[in-house]
Amino acid sequence: MPYLGSEDVVKELKKALCNPHIQADRLRYRNVIQRVIRYMTQGLDMSGVFMEMVKASATVDIVQKKLVYLYMCTYAPLKPDLALLAINTLCKDCSDPNPMVRGLALRSMCSLRMPGVQEYIQQPILNGLRDKASYVRRVAVLGCAKMHNLHGDSEVDGALVNELYSLLRDQDPIVVVNCLRSLEEILKQEGGVVINKPIAHHLLNRMSKLDQWGQAEVLNFLLRYQPRSEEELFDILNLLDSFLKSSSPGVVMGATKLFLILAKMFPHVQTDVLVRVKGPLLAACSSESRELCFVALCHVRQILHSLPGHFSSHYKKFFCSYSEPHYIKLQKVEVLCELVNDEDVQQVLEELRGYCTDVSADFAQAAIFAIGGIARTYTDQCVQILTELLGLRQEHITTVVVQTFRDLVWLCPQCTEAVCQALPGCEENIQDSEGKQALIWLLGVHGERIPNAPYVLEDFVENVKSETFPAVKMELLTALLRLFLSRPAECQDMLGRLLYYCIEEEKDMAVRDRGLFYYRLLLVGIDEVKRILCSPKSDPTLGLLEDPAERPVNSWASDFNTLVPVYGKAHWATISKCQGAERCDPELPKTSSFAASGPLIPEENKERVQELPDSGALMLVPNRQLTADYFEKTWLSLKVAHQQVLPWRGEFHPDTLQMALQVVNIQTIAMSRAGSRPWKAYLSAQDDTGCLFLTELLLEPGNSEMQISVKQNEARTETLNSFISVLETVIGTIEEIKS
Amino acid sequence: MIGGLFIYNHKGEVLISRVYRDDIGNAVDAFRVNVIHARQQVRSPVTNIARTSFFHVKRSNIWLAAVTKQNVNAAMVFEFLYKMCDVMAAYFGKISEENIKNNFVLIYELLDEILDFGYPQNSETGALKTFITQQGIKSQTKEEQSQITSQVTGQIGWRREGIKYRRNELFLDVLESVNLLMSPQGQVLSAHVSGRVVMKSYLSGMPECKFGMNDKIVIEKQGKGTADETSKSGKQSIAIDDCTFHQCVRLSKFDSERSISFIPPDGEFELMRYRTTKDIILPFRVIPLVREVGRTKLEVKVVIKSNFKPSLLAQKIEVRIPTPLNTSGVQVICMKGKAKYKASENAIVWKIKRMAGMKESQISAEIELLPTNDKKKWARPPISMNFEVPFAPSGLKVRYLKVFEPKLNYSDHDVIKWVRYIGRSGIYETRC
């Protein structure tokens, strides 16, 4: 009953957690907590017992502590105020003599994702970085990244970054790797962690001490390093040589990528590396870990794009086994298709022919398409196999074979004769839209060579009323008109019937329009129809365009060992394009654009507002937290740079104003209570060049005006003007919302 | 980096859900709806749903899924999932729904230690043991505390200091799986052996071990003087196509001298993994004969021949002969073992408990077919086989395993060593 009746469950658990008898009995207490976690896992909202769970965190039982911390990390964002109560216990645990408890507490504290926790975790993290137990240091280093993440877009703490850089020399390997990860996240805006020569060499020397995860990670970071000289480059490659033979396929792939990238000026080195990883890759391709096998196959395909002959001698390794999962079979067929050459073509085709009768229709169709792909080079053999397949009279096979034929005659006109001979009789075994379209197209374009073409089309015309796919009807119209041009006598009558049906009875507008179009075209005269419909029947040059000869290794080296070969380049491009757009969104408020300000600003204002950032080239930096003291000092030391009066009527909510200002990255330092007269507010903002804008808003009692005074620590009129216009817009907007 | 890790049962109910990053959104449900409930053939172990990548692995009917938003390297994520399975198996055995439900506290503990903020941390089962308090209340003694500190600061990540055993003992298992794809005419289309050397060590202190096997390159290097010895006894050495080692093996030494030396982790670990493709001893030959008698009858005769020393015994032999879908009845006669037609699996399953080497056994069956108007030809899936033999089909032999511990006073002779060879069938298929 996990998804229903959560209230009763919560009530019951709450009661149990409060029961002093249960609290006294450790095992029973822990059991109740376990139940809470179990419900939480199942997706039940357990935030109702937060208070009781916080109480349970004060215990010596480590298991219980772990469970409670797990619970708190999940629900802290929902109950930030209650979570603050737990911080005390956590802080105490951070100085426990047991390093395990220290680590656990620190990790949990950093994982509480709620606003305001930063100020509490800063000190424990700093202590943790200097802890004598490396277990705690590991946690603390990643804690820095978590803390940065919490701040969102806050400024980078230079001291902390330096501390992390120095921890790269830590003696514990995991601390070193965690440092890299943490720095990477903290410095993301600036392009990530910097790998200079000393760091790169240090990491290279530590490589063998790392575990496989660490090695893979470091190999990835080393991609960024550019060796100064050729000598250094080859030294590095020599050092990393053994990782090409690592027991972990991930490390092997990482090392391969690094080799390919570092040696991008030395094609012979690249080829050499690819030869050497052949063994490990083949091993992965035939390993029992199917998912790894899949990934390896994807990469084999990638390599084959550049070096078509690379795996030729091993083609038998890519023969499918009956019991392999579907996804591996599909990949293997693709690989076979790529590595076919004069010597092995016979065996590969034999093998593929076997797959065409596989029980899985999906796989059989993939095999047929693969044969169609090979047919571009070895046309005769393939067409023969495909023709034999038609003899099986299987629906799912016939339809794919006919589609393959259609694509083939377009690219390889020399096989047209053979295809035309094979076609008669197919129509009985085709039911789906794709297959029908392909068959009708072939009959239309090459109808003069197929004796019974008009009769087959006639059958389609007879049954057009019951035809469900509009695309088939469209194809039928075009094909029949084409055939009419070459064999008018046999087609005239049914063309008339088809046009009549399409214009008078057809409900699909596209088909109807196509019918009308052809009808009017016919009215113009037969010569005009010929001129328009009789285009070339094949285009062999397209084949050359489609598979450009070998692609250089450097064109995909940077994609190696990422998700790109797994998804395919095209699919990945769509995924990452969307991701790019998404990533831009949260950045918008930072550049002080108003686009993301949500309901605060009504639609009609948006246009005007969005123009602003461009006009003055003003970039306000977010979250510049000035202390009140500093503000006061600066305020007193500066002269008023600009003073202005805006119309202002009646009551308003200072909170609304504060929020609106927040959106454009203007910080409110201090503000009078709502309704008090005179009402004052002090604001501060900073742009990307470091120029400060300090502002006072003043509402005098009885006056229907707001007085604005702005001070600037660097006198620059153009930024000042754009700042004022931003301010005006915000205040104007609030005014409009009110009225 | 991994944003979250989920474990589901076959119905898609969440058994374990651990989120490390906020950016993955409501990934738990997305995976359930789009993959587990999709009820289609899985087209790829990597799925992209709403720009989030899901990497999944199935163990029996349990789904394990790792989720990420980043462009990670896929091999690493899968390796991590395998490692996760290994670690869980080391703690509670088989990965099943019941075991996961019973150990869910432990699994959360493990997930906490192995991954932090989505980054893999220490994942060696031995080293993890110190941090996991599965049994609970046990409060830490002073000694254990200092142990943690020494372990977490130690230079060697895979072994802690101060291990002591009354009896120094080690077990070596050579586990091989032999894979075969054979054509109906008895021609080998592809065959390979993938093997593992698994070691269980119960040794005190920080022992230095040296492992030797009949690797062709080593034998040839040493055997230059005594060439006649190798020629005399035929196949003495094997050619290894490629091999990989546990992290503890010093690779530099292997590259220069091809000697395998290491300080082993405590307990069980996989010392090496290798693959051979040449001169494989195929333990069994399967000779199929299928004859179609008219449209409603099939005659099948299958002979299996064991091809190893007569003194050895193969076990758990199972031959699976597929039958067409429209089978109505089957009569089987076999000389040895038991054979049964299993309609639900569309196959005749022939089981033989034990079989000595150089023997032959035969099964013949008559299959009655229902006449159908389905023109679809029967695809004739291959005959597959399962077995277990007490030798290594690759021919690998352990020549020695020497143990040196300079600080403690026990020598190589005091260590009790056990070596065992097990050859199992991987995908062992003969087309018919």
Q: What is the DSSP string of A401-424?
A: HHHHHHHHHHH-GGGHHHHHHH-T
Q: What is the 3-state secondary structure (H, E, C) of B98-139?
A: HHHHHCHHHHHHHHHHHEECCEECCCCHHHHCCCCCCCCCCC
Cα of B355 to nearest chain A Cα, Å: 26
Q: Do the Cβ atoms of B266 and A256 come closer than 8 Å?
A: no
User: End-to-end CA distance of chain A, in Å?
Assistant: 51
Cα of A730 to nearest chain B Cα, Å: 31
CA B89, B93, B98, B102 torsion-angle sign:
negative
CA distance A266 to B118: 36
Indicate the residue of A74, A291, A323 with minimum beta-carbon distance to B427: A323
Q: B12 in contact with A at a CB cutoff of 8 Å?
A: no
Residues 337 to 396 of B: which have CB under 8 A from any A CB?
A: 375-377, 379, 381-382, 384
pLDDT at A480: 92
CB atoms within 10 A of CB A209: 16
Band of pLDDT at residue A349, cut at 50, 70 and 90: very high
Cα of B229 to nearest chain A Cα, Å: 31
Lowest mean per-residue pLDDT among A158-172, A292-306, B246-260, B338-352: B246-260
CA distance A487 to A450: 11
| Nearest-10 crossing angle of helices A488-500, A509-524 | 130
Cα of A291 to nearest chain B Cα, Å: 6
pLDDT at A600: 38
Count Cβ atoms within 10 A of the Cβ of residue A624 and give its class: 0-12 exposed, 13-18 middle, 19 or more buried.
middle
Question: Among residues of chain A, what percentage have pLDDT more than 90?
Answer: 19
pLDDT at B93: 82
Do B429 and A242 lie within an 8 Å CB cutoff? no
Report the residue of B247, B270, B278 to disrupt the A interface, i.e. the one with the largest count of A CBs within 10 Å: B247
Q: Do the Cβ atoms of A41 and B15 come closer than 8 Å?
A: yes
User: End-to-end CA distance of chain B, in Å?
Assistant: 47
The type of residue at B266 is D
pLDDT tens track for A224-236: 898 888 899 899 9
Residue A592 in this model has a pLDDT that exceeds 80? no
pLDDT tens track for A358-386: 888 889 999 999 999 899 888 888 999 99
What SS3 class is residue B325?
coil
Q: Do the Cβ atoms of B352 and B386 come closer than 8 Å?
A: no
Do B119 and A178 lie within an 8 Å CB cutoff? yes
Residues of B whose CB is below 8 A from A290: 45
| Nearest-10 crossing angle of helices A80-93, A118-129 | 20
The type of residue at B133 is T
CA distance A728 to A706: 11
Residue B36 is classified by DSSP as I
Dihedral over alpha carbons A723, A728, A731, A736 (to 10 degrees):
-140
**CA neighbours within 13 Å on the CB side: how many for B161?**
13
Do B121 and A138 lie within an 8 Å CB cutoff? yes
Runs of H (alpha helix) within B1-43 = 27-31
Which has the closest alpha carbon to A642: A712, A727, A728?
A712
CA A594, A595, A601, A602 torsion-angle sign:
positive
Band of pLDDT at residue A467, cut at 50, 70 and 90: confident
Give bridge partners of residue A708 from the DSSP assignment.
A644, A697
Q: B145 in contact with A at a CB cutoff of 8 Å?
A: yes
Q: A135 in contact with B at a CB cutoff of 8 Å?
A: yes
Q: Of A7 and A342, which is predicted with more confidence?
A: A342
Dihedral over alpha carbons A303, A306, A309, A310 (to 10 degrees):
-30
Q: A577 in contact with B at a CB cutoff of 8 Å?
A: no
Do B48 and A571 lie within an 8 Å CB cutoff? yes
Cα of A248 to nearest chain B Cα, Å: 8
Q: Of A614 and A33, which is predicted with more confidence?
A: A33
The type of residue at A68 is V
Q: Do the Cβ atoms of B355 and B401 come closer than 8 Å?
A: no
Indicate the residue of B124, B152, B273 with minimum beta-carbon distance to A99: B152
Residues of B whose CB is below 8 A from A577: none
Residue in the block written with tokens 């500190």: B149
Residue A121 in this model has a pLDDT that exceeds 90? no
Q: A171 in contact with B at a CB cutoff of 8 Å?
A: yes
Report the residue of A40, A100, A137, A301 to disrupt the B interface, i.e. the one with the largest count of B CBs within 10 Å: A100
Cα B150–chain centre separation:
33
Report the residue of B49, B64, B183, B244 to disrupt the A interface, i.e. the one with the largest count of A CBs within 10 Å: B244
Size of interface A-B (CB pairs under 8 A): 239
Q: Do the Cβ atoms of B241 and B288 come closer than 8 Å?
A: no
Indicate the residue of A213, A291, A319 with minimum beta-carbon distance to B45: A291
What SS3 class is residue A714?
coil
Angle ∠(B142,B148,B154) on CA atoms, nearest 5:
135
pLDDT (mean) for A694-704: 77
Which has the closest alpha carbon to B133: B106, B166, B173, B164?
B106
Residues 682 to 711 of A: which have CB under 8 A from any B CB?
A: none
Do B181 and A291 lie within an 8 Å CB cutoff? no
Indicate the residue of A100, A248, A362 with minimum beta-carbon distance to B148: A100
Residues 391 to 450 of A: which have CB under 8 A from any B CB?
A: 392-394
Give bridge partners of residue A728 from the DSSP assignment.
none
CA distance A215 to A238: 16
Residue A6 in this model has a pLDDT that exceeds 80? no
Q: Do the Cβ atoms of A467 and A435 come closer than 8 Å?
A: no
pLDDT at A289: 87
Q: Do the Cβ atoms of B325 and B346 come closer than 8 Å?
A: yes
pLDDT tens track for B56-71: 999 888 999 999 988 8
In sequence order, the 6+-apart residues with CB closer than 8 A to the CB of A331 are: A294, A297, A298, A301
pLDDT tens track for A440-466: 999 988 988 888 888 989 999 998 888
Which has the closest alpha carbon to B182: B307, B32, B363?
B307
What SS3 class is residue A300?
helix
- DSSP-derived pairing of the beta strands B14-19 and B4-8: antiparallel
CA distance A199 to B185: 61
Residue A164's φ and ψ, nearest 5 degrees, are -65, -40
Residue B133 in this model has a pLDDT that exceeds 70? no
Render B368-431 in DSSP notation, one character per residue.
EE------PPP--PPEEEEEEESS-TT---EEEEEEE-SSSS--GGGSEEEEEEEEEEEEEEE-
Residues 24 to 53 of B: which have CB under 8 A from any A CB?
A: 28, 41-46, 48, 51, 53
Residue B208 in this model has a pLDDT that exceeds 70? yes
Distances (CA, A) of A557 to A158, A261, A263: 34, 6, 10
In sequence order, the 6+-apart residues with CB closer than 8 A to the CB of B297 are: B366, B367, B368, B369
pLDDT at B67: 93
Residues of A whose CB is below 8 A from B1: 181
pLDDT tens track for A158-200: 888 899 999 999 888 899 999 999 999 888 888 888 888 999 9
CATH class of A620-737: alpha beta
- Classify each residue of A281-308 as buried b or exposed e, where b means 16 or more C-beta atoms within 10 Å of its C-beta: bbbbbbbebbbbbbbbbbbbbbbbbbbb
Residues of A whose CB is below 8 A from B384: 322-323
- Cis preceding-peptide flag for A678 (omega within 30 of 0): yes
CA distance A46 to A38: 10
Which has the closest alpha carbon to A197: A168, A225, A162?
A225
Render A140-205 in DSSP notation, one character per residue.
HHHHHHHHHHHHSSPPP-HHHHHHHHHHTT-SSHHHHHHHHHHHHHHTGGGTS----HHHHHHHHH
Give bridge partners of residue B247 from the DSSP assignment.
none
pLDDT at B66: 94
pLDDT at A516: 93
What SS3 class is residue B350?
strand
Q: Which residue of B has its CA nearest to A207?
A: B247
CA distance A444 to A4: 61
Report the residue of A27, A149, A566, A574 to disrupt the B interface, i.e. the one with the largest count of B CBs within 10 Å: A566
Report the residue of B117, B181, B193, B275 to disrupt the A interface, i.e. the one with the largest count of A CBs within 10 Å: B117
Do B242 and A326 lie within an 8 Å CB cutoff? no
Do B43 and A134 lie within an 8 Å CB cutoff? no
Q: Where are the domains of chain A?
A: 443-539, 620-737
In sequence order, the 6+-apart residues with CB closer than 8 A to the CB of B249 are: B260, B261, B262, B271, B272
Question: Among residues of chain B, what percentage have pLDDT more than 90?
Answer: 29
Band of pLDDT at residue A591, cut at 50, 70 and 90: very low
pLDDT at B139: 33
Cα of B120 to nearest chain A Cα, Å: 6
pLDDT tens track for B345-381: 889 999 999 999 999 999 999 999 888 776 666 778 8
CA distance A296 to A252: 11
Residues of B whose CB is below 8 A from A254: 73, 76
The type of residue at B287 is I
Residue in the block written with tokens 């757009």: A581
pLDDT tens track for A638-687: 888 888 887 776 666 777 777 777 777 787 888 877 767 777 888 888 87
Cα of B106 to nearest chain A Cα, Å: 9
Do A132 and B149 lie within an 8 Å CB cutoff? yes
Q: A239 in contact with B at a CB cutoff of 8 Å?
A: no
CA distance A419 to B101: 60
Residues of A whose CB is below 8 A from B14: 41-43
